[in-house]
């Protein structure tokens, strides 16, 4: 019983059909030829007749990059007379992007299940590349480049409103998608409008939802969708190239089994002829920014104005063209007015038909006198592309009546408005303090120390004091010098007389010795003590010496010597031993040097 059960189970086990292949693999490409950057799909289908996980190994492919991969597996079982069979089918879809031009070989794809292995056949695809990009093409006004043979169902193109324009003239550039009405597609990306070298551009249309229209190209009907529209203003003359752009699509609406086939489509590069503005007939002072179909107007807010009020002059340039770069006429002076720098504003209107706009300069004019004043007409040269010629735009002159009296001249028109609530805070108050309607305006004062007068005042006083002090010091020094000279002369005299005293004593001349002693002592006393003893009695001299601090004995000795000397000189008296007396007399004179007059020994 158990054996039968086992045999039954064995019969039920699936086994490969006798004579059938266990594993097969097949690979196919969606395109045989494409351009660099384009995407193709590699579909791989492996079928295994046994149960087990089917592995598919994709070999490296030179010249291509894998963008994405999706897999699905289907398992089916069937019972035949040979028994149960199982069939496992695995589908792999790989998206590849062509990286470089040339012949690309896709090596065999290997599939494995268990010990079984199978290979697909190798595949080839031709890639044309950017090495030889399609040359730029010139088109007529509003025309497009026809589609290539491999893109008849879906292609993208630029469309220029004009194939040839003047420098600065507006031209419209559209990016359009042409699709066969029977095909459905999804747009993966719409590239941003490019920044084109040599052009000023404005995006005038960029719909969020593509709206189709019908067009016929080479006898074939297409649905045409505009992705965006640019208004271009060429900034340089010559042949300008508009570089191509590429868009990615998915064909079909997608299904449960996949999002649809992926495609890239590229526009062709376009050539645009930009003609330089004609030199013949070009007005003097013409600005190349002023290209367009324009009108120029000037108006004031009031024709009658009070002399104390200002008025506003509005000068406007409006029309079709690049108003942003247009240059309005400059206004420097108007007789009877003071002119202030203008405030310039622009109002640009981006329409599908192109760029329209208005550029306005608001100029504040303050009357400088009363009466009828005239604002002269303004002139401006432009180049009108429609007329293909230069033109002169001109406004009418404007008469303005200024009445009343000009404001009185006063830099001090009145007191400053005092604060309404001094010290009040801003809390709970939503209104600001009011304007100051009259203020004593004065030019900004400079710092005092930037004035020479200030420095002169600051320096003059101390300099004066310094000068006076210097003069006083000089005078004092001069007086001191005179005193020193006198003392020095007296010292010399005292020395001479001491020598004369010695000589007279040696010569036995008592009168001469007495005179020399007297003169020497007077001179030495004058020089050292500033004491004038001449004309004084001997007692008077002694008293004077004592008052100056002399020793009493010394003073008495001096008094005695002076008396003896005087007696000898004038009364013929004698002095005994003249040599000894002369020595004593010299000692008295030298006594002043030695400080004996103070009693010092």
Partner 1 sequence: MMGPATKLVLAFALSASAQPEEVARDFQAANERALAKEHGQAIALYESILERGYDDSDVYYNLGHVLEGAGRPIDAIVAYERALARAPGDADAIFNLERLRALHVSGLPEPAADAASLGEAVRPWISSDLTREAAWLFALSLLAACVLRAFFARVGAGTALANLGFFTATISLVVTLLGISALREVRAVVTESAALREGPDARFPDRGVVIPGETVRVRGTQGSFQEIQRLDGSTGFVERAALATVTYSL
With CB under 8 A as the rule, give the number of residues binding partner 1. Answer: 55
For residue 511, what is the DSSP state? H
Q: Are 330 and 346 in contact (CB under 8 A)?
A: no
Q: Does 10 bind partner 1 (CB under 8 A)?
A: no
Q: Does 419 bind partner 1 (CB under 8 A)?
A: yes
Q: What is the DSSP code string of 266-335?
A: EPPPEEEEEEPPPSTTPPTT--TT-BEEEEEEEEES-SEEETTS-EEEEEEEEEEE-TTT--PPP---BT
**Contacting partner 1 (CB under 8 A), which of 353, 406, 529, 546?**
406
Q: Residue 478 CB, nearest distance to partner 1 (Å)?
A: 20
Q: Does 424 bind partner 1 (CB under 8 A)?
A: yes
**Contacting partner 1 (CB under 8 A), which of 7, 75, 344, 464?**
464
Cβ distance to partner 1 smaller for residue 64 or 363: 363
Q: Does 461 bind partner 1 (CB under 8 A)?
A: yes
466, with CB counted inside 10 A (0-12, 13-18, 19+), is exposed
The radius of gyration of the chain from alpha carbons, rounded to an integer in Å, stands at 63
**Contacting partner 1 (CB under 8 A), which of 3, 135, 280, 445?**
445
Alpha-carbon distance 485 to 483, whole Å?
5
First to last CA, the chain: 167
Q: Residue 444 CB, nearest distance to partner 1 (Å)?
A: 4
Q: Does 448 bind partner 1 (CB under 8 A)?
A: yes
Query: CB within 8 A of 28, min separation 6: which ones?
Result: 42, 43, 123
CA distances for 550 relative to 210, 437, 518, 557, 595, angstroms: 135, 93, 18, 11, 8
Q: Does 443 bind partner 1 (CB under 8 A)?
A: yes
Cβ distance to partner 1 smaller for residue 150 or 308: 308
Q: Are 589 and 522 in contact (CB under 8 A)?
A: no
**Contacting partner 1 (CB under 8 A), which of 17, 91, 210, 366?**
366
* Binding range to partner 1, per CB under 8 A, among 20-28, 114-122, 431-439, 566-574: 431-439
Output the six-digit token pair for 349.
């209107």
Q: Does 309 bind partner 1 (CB under 8 A)?
A: yes
Phi and psi at 167, nearest 5°, equal -60, 125
Closest among 235, 319, 269, 288 to 160, alpha carbons compared: 269
Q: Residue 445 CB, nearest distance to partner 1 (Å)?
A: 6
* Binding range to partner 1, per CB under 8 A, among 3-11, 86-94, 264-272, 448-456: 448-456
**Contacting partner 1 (CB under 8 A), which of 81, 421, 572, 576?**
421
**Contacting partner 1 (CB under 8 A), which of 454, 477, 534, 549?**
454
* Binding range to partner 1, per CB under 8 A, among 6-14, 50-58, 278-286, 455-463: 455-463
Q: Does 442 bind partner 1 (CB under 8 A)?
A: yes
Q: Residue 309 CB, nearest distance to partner 1 (Å)?
A: 6
**Contacting partner 1 (CB under 8 A), which of 10, 77, 416, 489?**
416
Cβ distance to partner 1 smaller for residue 362 or 563: 362
Exposure string over 155-189, b if 16+ CB within 10 A, otherwise e = bbbbbbbbbebbbbbbbbbbbbbbbeeeeebeeee
Q: Residue 139 CB, nearest distance to partner 1 (Å)?
A: 47
* Binding range to partner 1, per CB under 8 A, among 3-11, 232-240, 254-262, 417-425: 417-425
Q: Residue 307 CB, nearest distance to partner 1 (Å)?
A: 9
Q: Residue 313 CB, nearest distance to partner 1 (Å)?
A: 11
Cβ distance to partner 1 smaller for residue 410 or 478: 410
Q: Does 8 bind partner 1 (CB under 8 A)?
A: no
The C-alpha angle with vertex 191 and arms to 185 and 193, in degrees rounded to 5, equals 130
The enclosing H or E element of 240 equals strand 238-242
**Contacting partner 1 (CB under 8 A), which of 81, 284, 405, 437?**
437
Site string for partner 1, 336-355 (x = CB under 8 A): --x-xx-x------------
Q: Does 300 bind partner 1 (CB under 8 A)?
A: no
Q: Residue 406 CB, nearest distance to partner 1 (Å)?
A: 7
The enclosing H or E element of 483 equals helix 452-507
Query: CB within 8 A of 556, min separation 6: which ones?
Result: 542
Q: Residue 366 CB, nearest distance to partner 1 (Å)?
A: 6
Cβ distance to partner 1 smaller for residue 321 or 342: 342
Q: Residue 89 CB, nearest distance to partner 1 (Å)?
A: 59
Alpha-carbon distance 449 to 455, whole Å?
7
Q: Residue 471 CB, nearest distance to partner 1 (Å)?
A: 11
Cβ distance to partner 1 smaller for residue 295 or 417: 417
- The interaxial angle of helices 510-529 and 452-507, nearest 10 deg, is 160
450 CB neighbour count, 10 Å cutoff = 8
Cβ distance to partner 1 smaller for residue 360 or 538: 360
Positions of E strands within 334-425: 337-339, 343-351, 354-367, 371-375, 379-384, 389-394, 398-403
Q: Does 7 bind partner 1 (CB under 8 A)?
A: no
Q: Residue 477 CB, nearest distance to partner 1 (Å)?
A: 20
Q: Does 333 bind partner 1 (CB under 8 A)?
A: no
Q: Does 429 bind partner 1 (CB under 8 A)?
A: yes
The C-alpha angle with vertex 106 and arms to 102 and 110, in degrees rounded to 5, equals 170
Secondary structure of 97-166 in HEC code, one letter for each residue: EECCCEEEEECCCEEEECCEEEECCCEEEEEECCCCCCCCEECCCCCCCCCCHHHCCEEEEEEECCCEEE
* Binding range to partner 1, per CB under 8 A, among 289-297, 328-336, 447-455, 530-538: 447-455
Residue appearing with tokens 């009828």:
372
Q: Residue 376 CB, nearest distance to partner 1 (Å)?
A: 22
The residues binding partner 1 (CB under 8 A) are: 308-310, 312, 338, 340-341, 343, 362, 364, 366, 406-407, 409-411, 413, 416-417, 419-427, 429-430, 432-437, 439, 441-449, 454, 457-458, 460-462, 464-465, 468
């Amino acid at each position: 019983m158990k054996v039968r059960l086992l045999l039954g189970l064995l019969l039920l086990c699936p086994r490969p059909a006798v004579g059938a292949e266990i594993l097969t693999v097949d690979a196919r490409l969606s395109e045989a030829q494409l351009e660099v950057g384009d995407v193709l799909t590699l579909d791989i289908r492996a079928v295994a007749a046994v149960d087990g996980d089917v592995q598919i190994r994709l070999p490296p492919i030179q010249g291509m990059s894998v963008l994405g991969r999706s897999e699905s597996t289907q398992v089916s079982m069937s019972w035949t007379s040979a028994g149960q069979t199982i069939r496992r089918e695995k589908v792999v879809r790989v998206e590849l992007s062509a990286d470089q031009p040339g012949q690309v070989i896709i090596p065999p794809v290997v599939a494995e299940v268990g010990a079984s292995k199978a290979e697909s056949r190798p595949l080839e695809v031709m890639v044309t590349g950017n090495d030889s990009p399609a040359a730029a093409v010139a088109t007529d006004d509003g025309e497009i480049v026809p589609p290539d043979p491999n893109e008849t169902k879906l292609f993208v193109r630029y469309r220029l409103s004009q194939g040839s324009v003047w420098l600065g003239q507006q031209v419209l550039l559209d990016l359009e998608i042409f699709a066969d009405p029977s095909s459905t597609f999804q747009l993966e990306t719409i590239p941003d409008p490019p920044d084109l070298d040599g052009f000023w551009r404005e995006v005038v249309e960029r719909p969020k939802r593509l709206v189709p229209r019908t067009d016929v190209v080479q006898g074939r009907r297409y649905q045409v969708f505009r992705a965006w529209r640019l208004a271009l203003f060429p900034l340089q003359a010559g042949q300008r190239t508009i570089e191509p752009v590429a868009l990615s699509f998915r064909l079909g609406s997608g299904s449960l089994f996949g999002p649809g086939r992926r495609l890239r489509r590229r526009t062709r590069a376009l050539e645009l002829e930009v003609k330089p503005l004609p030199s013949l007939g070009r007005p003097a002072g013409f600005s190349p920014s002023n290209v367009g179909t324009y009108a120029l107007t000037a108006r004031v807010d009031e024709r009658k104005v009070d002399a104390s009020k200002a008025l506003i002059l509005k000068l406007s340039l409006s029309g079709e063209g690049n108003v942003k770069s247009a240059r309005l006429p400059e206004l420097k002076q108007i007789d009877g007015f003071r002119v202030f720098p203008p405030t310039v504003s622009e109002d640009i209107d981006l329409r599908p038909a192109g760029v329209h706009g208005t550029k306005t300069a608001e100029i504040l004019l303050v009357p400088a006198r009363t009466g009828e004043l005239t604002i002269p007409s303004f002139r401006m040269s432009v180049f009108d592309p429609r007329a293909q010629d230069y033109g002169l735009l001109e406004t009418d002159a404007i008469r303005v009546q200024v009445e009343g009296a000009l404001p009185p001249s006063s830099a001090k028109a009145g007191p400053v408005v005092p604060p309404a609530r001094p010290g009040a805070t801003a809390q709970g108050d939503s209104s600001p303090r009011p304007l100051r309607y009259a203020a004593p305006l004065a030019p900004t004062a400079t710092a005092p120390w930037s004035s020479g007068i200030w420095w002169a005042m600051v320096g003059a006083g101390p300099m004066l004091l310094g000068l006076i002090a210097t003069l006083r010091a000089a005078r004092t020094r001069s007086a001191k010098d005179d005193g020193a000279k006198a003392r020095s002369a007296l010292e010399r005299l005292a020395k001479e007389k001491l020598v004369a005293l010695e000589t007279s004593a040696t010569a036995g001349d008592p009168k001469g010795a007495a005179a020399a002693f007297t003169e020497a002592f007077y001179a030495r006393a004058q020089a050292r003590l500033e004491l004038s003893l001449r004309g004084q009695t001997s007692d008077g001299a002694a008293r004077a010496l004592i008052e100056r601090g002399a020793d009493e004995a010394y003073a008495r000795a001096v008094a005695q010597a002076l008396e003896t000397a005087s007696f000898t000189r004038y009364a013929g008296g004698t002095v005994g031993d003249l040599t000894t007396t002369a020595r004593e007399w010299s000692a008295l004179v030298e006594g002043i040097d030695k400080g004996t007059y103070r009693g010092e020994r």
